[in-house]
């Protein structure tokens, strides 16, 4: 093959690779993750979905970790940008909206929770920390308490939201009805020894009808009240 022919072939291959955008690849990856989970995200499956060769994908994406982080970033960016925060909303109300938006996003895309865990320090996590951090500043939390405050909120949002998404995914995979499952657990708790487990037994009735979303927000409110109390205590010590 002549140098000229090789140049034409390389140029043609490069044009094919460039014609497939990074955004198209990420959109296809999100669709694949939603239907098949993280284990179903392979470059072979993605190539088939995009009707292209792996080379066209590698032109834009380094490896599976890069692809997963990019897909996660796409969901988080969309979620944070769409959060319906009103201009005159209180910091507490804004934090509740941001937290609930992430809770719903993880429920809709169960793989996001684990992807965020692997993307600490990268764009997806930064997109969450920044808006929440600004609301913490608006609350008047002292700078010395910024790290522990944002860490507490972040760990709660990702931990509870991720666990809720995992529970939902497990239930769907095993054909479990939520009401039947909770009823069974409630009945099992009621059979516990009343002397050894009095508190657990007392939770058996509310467990049957609890609402995961409502409970999540109640937890956010507990943290916000704790932030307010801590802030006031810190201020009184430094008067």
Q: Where are the domains of the chain?
A: 1-61, 77-237
Query: For the domain bounded by 1-61, which CATH number is listed?
Result: 1.10.10.60
Q: Are 111 and 119 in contact (CB under 8 A)?
A: no
Question: Nearest to residue 92, comparing CAs of 186, 192, 224, 230?
Answer: 224
| Domain 77-237 fold | Tetracycline Repressor; domain 2 (1.10.357)
| Residue 98: closest CA among 119, 81, 115 | 81
Query: Which pLDDT value is given to residue 174?
Result: 84
Question: What's residue 193's pLDDT?
Answer: 95
pLDDT at 54: 79
The whole-number pLDDT of residue 173 equals 80
Per-residue pLDDT of the chain (239 residues), as tens digits, is 544 444 444 444 444 445 688 899 999 999 999 999 888 998 899 999 988 887 888 888 888 888 999 999 999 999 999 988 888 999 999 999 999 999 999 999 999 988 888 776 678 999 999 999 999 999 999 999 999 999 999 999 999 999 999 888 888 888 888 888 899 999 999 999 999 999 999 999 888 888 999 999 999 999 999 998 876 665 556 65
Residue 112: closest CA among 129, 130, 125: 125
**Cα–Cα distances in Å, from 173 out to 28, 98, 168?**
22, 29, 9
Output the pLDDT for position 236: 58
Q: With a threshold of 0.85, does the pTM exceed it?
A: no
* Eight-state DSSP code of residue 191: T
Give the number of C-alpha atoms closer than 13 A to the C-alpha of residue 57, restricted to the C-beta side.
Answer: 24
């Amino acid at each position: 093959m002549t140098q000229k022919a090789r140049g034409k072939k390389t140029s043609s291959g490069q044009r094919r690779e460039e014609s497939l955008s990074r955004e198209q690849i990420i959109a296809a990856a999100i669709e694949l993750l939603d239907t098949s989970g993280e284990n179903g995200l392979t470059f072979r499956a993605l190539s088939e979905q995009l009707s292209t060769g792996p080379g066209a994908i590698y032109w834009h994406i380094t490896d599976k970790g890069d692809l997963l982080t990019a897909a996660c970033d796409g969901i988080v960016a969309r979620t944070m940008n769409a959060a319906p925060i009103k201009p005159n909303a209180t910091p507490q109300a804004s934090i509740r909206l941001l937290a609930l938006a992430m809770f719903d996003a993880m429920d809709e895309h169960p793989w996001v929770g684990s992807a965020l865990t692997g993307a600490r320090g990268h764009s997806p996590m930064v997109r969450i920390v920044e808006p929440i951090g600004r609301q913490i500043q608006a609350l008047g939390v002292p700078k010395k308490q910024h790290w522990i405050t944002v860490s507490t909120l972040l760990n709660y949002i990702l931990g509870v939201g991720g666990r809720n998404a995992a529970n939902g995914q497990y239930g769907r995979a095993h054909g479990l009805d939520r009401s039947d499952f909770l009823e069974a657990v409630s009945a099992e708790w009621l059979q516990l020894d009343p002397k050894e487990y009095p508190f657990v037994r007392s939770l058996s009735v509310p467990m049957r009808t609890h609402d995961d979303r409502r409970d999540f927000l109640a937890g956010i409110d507990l943290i916000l009240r704790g932030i307010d109390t801590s802030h006031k205590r810190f201020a009184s010590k430094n008067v």
